Chains A and B, each alone.
Chain A
């Protein structure tokens, strides 16, 4: 027996099948995209910048612990953030776009300092994750609740001994970084940041965007020596640790009897190291040795009458290798 189907109905059926096929392919592609663990890192990087949120988190390293309140708003055009230290001196940071101002109130006055923009928690993941990919491998872990929200654990394992492992807790719903740990190679915690409470909001109201300082106190502009982009090579640098590349090279005046210091910043996308070099003035002692303060390692040595100082939140091996990457210093 033949079933007679009108041509129009047949066409509709074909069209429906075609639509379902497209939808199936699209969903599969989306699922594939979400399956790529690196997409989670990219999502976390965007979430910290694009979402509006308010919360309190704890920062902890081997020496101290502090509670910090953050309010972040993105109105579609610009980012606004207010970060308040809840423990210790009531320091506040207000940023709008790349403009960053720090307010340090004390008994007598309020010191105001203009700073350059930086990636601060929870926006510590770079927008471009390609450099991170070459230095770290990524693997997914279990799921855990952080600050009342479901989070996916993601590990960034270093491909060599020149960087620390990272453990990240990413909000399953929004992708926002809720908690992070920097560990040493024995899995001992070097530093940790974790939200204790967090909430997302949709309001575009900016009433909160003002420092809570005593308006009757004197304001003191805290002079920060200007960084000048250096055209002078000053020294030859080669054989840097794999994955580290030069981010900037500036000169600035430093010290009580100010002298010109060259500063290079090298980064692998997550961690960064500063290399300082300056000629040692006559009659001034040079600095040598190594030291750890909080999560930072510092190494100082002398070469051809120049002071070499390396500072960074990286393993001592990286600091040593960057210090040794200075091959020769030009005569000054």
Chain B
């Protein structure tokens, strides 16, 4: 198998064997690690070694460490009322002070929506993970072709 992985990386394996090798690599954790090591060797031999090695897990870990962004309620009419034309007759400092007052007003008006609640609607935060889990494990999957690019 070692030779297979090596030749797979060097594109020397025949086509059917490529598929079998890939399947075997995916099945076995140790082979997977070896595959990554070989890849590292190949990259270093070709002077293509990058600074960081990304994996799906490291990206998810990084996302988890990101601060949570609070989204303002889209229904805030105050925010949409803050239109730029005012700037044509207002000086920037005046506009900035108005903006500050409006922002405080907008925040106080949206205070209720920022409160943590027990539940949220799935329409606001689509449960993509559950949809993908269903699409991947359903015995028949006509919609495979429409699976989102989120994967």
Contact = CB atoms under 8 A, between A and B. Distances in A.
Interface of A: 59, 61, 63-64, 66, 68, 85, 88-89, 93-94, 96, 99, 101, 104, 108-109, 111-116, 118-121, 124, 126, 180, 182, 191, 193, 206-207, 209-210, 215-216, 218-224, 227, 247-248, 250, 252, 254-257, 263, 265, 267, 270-274, 276, 285-291, 293-296, 298, 300, 302, 309, 311-313
Given A265-B138, A274-B133, A285 B117 contact: yes
Contact of B137 (A59, A104, A119, A265): A265
Nearest to B141: A118
Main secondary structure of the interface of A (DSSP, over half): strand
Given A112-B22, A288-B120, A182 B142 contact: yes
A109 B54 contact: yes
Main secondary structure of the interface of B (DSSP, over half): helix
A294 B11 CA distance: 39
B143 A61 contact: yes
A218 B120 contact: no
B140 A270 contact: yes
A285 B141 contact: no
Given A114-B23, A220-B55, A124 B123 contact: no
B110 interface: no
Interface in B105-151: 116-123, 125-127, 129-131, 133-146, 149, 151
Interface residues of B, number: 57
Interface in B76-130: 116-123, 125-127, 129-130
B120 A263 contact: no
B146 A120 contact: no
B26 A221 contact: yes
Contacts of B131: 293, 296, 298, 311
A119 B140 contact: yes
B57 interface: yes
Given A64-B146, A267-B140, A276-B133, A285 B55 contact: no
Given A210-B15, A286-B118, A313 B142 contact: yes
Nearest to A313: B143
Contacts of B43: 218
A300 B127 contact: yes
Contacts, number: 185
Contacts of A288: 119-122
- Output the residue of B48, B57, B131, B140 with the most chain A CB within 10 A: B140
Interface string B42-62: 010010101001111100100
Given A118-B139, A254-B129, 18 more contacts: A59-B145, A61-B146, A89-B149, A96-B20, A99-B19, A104-B151, A209-B16, A220-B55, A221-B35, A221-B56, A256-B63, A272-B138, A274-B137, A286-B118, A287-B119, A289-B122, A295-B143, A313-B142
Contact of B64 (A88, A256, A267, A312): A256
A288 B122 CA distance: 6
- Output the residue of B56, B64, B119 with the most chain A CB within 10 A: B119
A291 B15 contact: no
When A and B form their complex, which 8 residue pairs have the shortest distance between CB atoms, in order from nearest? A59-B145, A274-B134, A114-B26, A311-B134, A289-B121, A119-B140, A272-B138, A99-B23
Contact of B143 (A222, A227, A294): A294
A293 B126 contact: yes
22 contacts: A59-B145, A61-B143, A63-B146, A85-B145, A96-B16, A96-B23, A101-B26, A118-B139, A180-B142, A218-B50, A218-B53, A220-B54, A221-B56, A247-B139, A256-B64, A257-B64, A274-B137, A287-B125, A295-B146, A296-B131, A296-B134, A298-B130
